[in-house]
Structure 1
Amino acid sequence: MGSISAIGTGCAALIAILSISAPVHSQPAAAAGTVEISITNLRSTRGNVLICLTTNARRFPDCRGDAGARSVTIPASVPTARVTGLAPGTWAIAVIHDENANGRIDTTLGIPREGVGSSRNAPIRMGPPRFADASFAITTGSVSQSIRMRYLL
């Protein structure tokens, strides 16, 4: 199971030191949410599953260059992940079954040769799914997304 933590122990120690030495007057931080992701319909357990979560409609489903995106890589043999520390808002998930574990999606004439999927199992028409079709709300609690892999070739 993959997991991402938003605050490391070094940050916590620094915050503790600062709060002892000087009073801090700030707004309380927004509570974080969690998403539980399960991947279904994998055609094999070879390779990895690359998961990208984003709030940026323009960068979806390719999260490269999206500073706010969260990425997780899990083995295809254990197709579940739990991502914590997500800010409340509208998110979408894009998933690739990277069967050869080269860290990217392989294509032929622009058509994925490896499995793809997205949150809410958004439809794939003449191109990738739209953010509006894949998006869902994350609040301060836990949300589950079951994503069905699709293989086009």
Structure 2
Amino acid sequence: MKRAILLLPLLLTGNAPGATTVSVDLTGLRNKTGLVFVCMTAKPAAFPNGCETDPNRRVASIKAADAGPLILRDVPPGRYAIALLHDENGNKKMDKTLFLPKEGFGFSRDAPVRMAPPKFEAAAFDVTAGKPVRMSMKVRYL
């Protein structure tokens, strides 16, 4: 019985063995309106559009006015990529003009954007068991 009581806090927190934290600091926000969302996935097919289709994704959001780090918790070891959206009008989607984004966006490792969003490998980074990751992501606007 005593052993079960000791295991209960571990089960309630949902921590996987070796899970850690990924912290994302933002740079380049053009204003303090709306929200900033990040979605992290380990599935190349879900990056960057379609992250919501990954049942194991990690997401975080923050008010742009707060502009503190976005924290992704309980991240198991693996290879991940992050897509970011500065949703200035709060409609939870990327607004576009003709096919070009009207709102801010970004990718882990500041993966370059050419004629299309970057591929998973351009933005991918590794998470090691128990070792917190801290990165900076630049918000870009067209």
TM-score, L = length of structure 2 = 0.85
Aligned with residue 42 of structure 1, among 25, 29, 38: 29
- Percent of residue pairs bearing the same amino acid type: 40
Number of equivalent positions: 130
Tell me how far apart the structure 1 counterparts of residues 46 and 8 of structure 2 sit (CA, whole Å): 31
Give the CA deviation at 1:57: 0.6
Highest Rg: 1 or 2?
A: 1
Please say if 1:127 is aligned against 2:116. yes
| Cα deviation, residue 78, structure 1 | 2.0
Any idea what SS the aligned residue of 1:58 has? helix
Trace 1:1-153 onto structure 2 (pairs within 5 A): 12=8, 30-62=17-49, 63-79=51-67, 80-139=69-128, 140-152=130-142
Matched residue SS, 2:53: coil
Output the CA distance in 1 between the equivalents of 2:38 and 2:8: 27
Q: Post-superposition shift, 1:124? A: 0.3
Structural RMSD (CA):
1.9
Q: CA deviation at 1:65?
A: 1.1
Amino acid in structure 2 at the alignment position of 1:64:
E
Q: CA deviation at 1:66?
A: 1.1
The code of the aligned residue for 1:144 comes to R
User: Which structure 2 residue ranges, 5 or more long, are not aligned?
Assistant: 1-6
* Larger proportion of helix: 2
| Contact preservation (8 Å) 2:60, 2:71 | no
Question: Are the counterparts in 1 of residues 109 and 137 from structure 2 also a CA contact under 8 Å?
Answer: yes
Alpha-carbon deviations, 1:55-109, whole Å to 9, x = none?
0111101212111111112111122112120010001110000000111110112
Structure 1 gaps of 5+ residues are 1-10, 17-28
Partners of 2:121 and 2:133 lie apart in 1 by 18
Deviation at 1:110, TM superposition (A): 1.7
**Cα separation, 2, equivalents of 1:54 and 1:150:** 20
Q: Distance in 2 between matches of 1:72 and 1:130?
A: 21
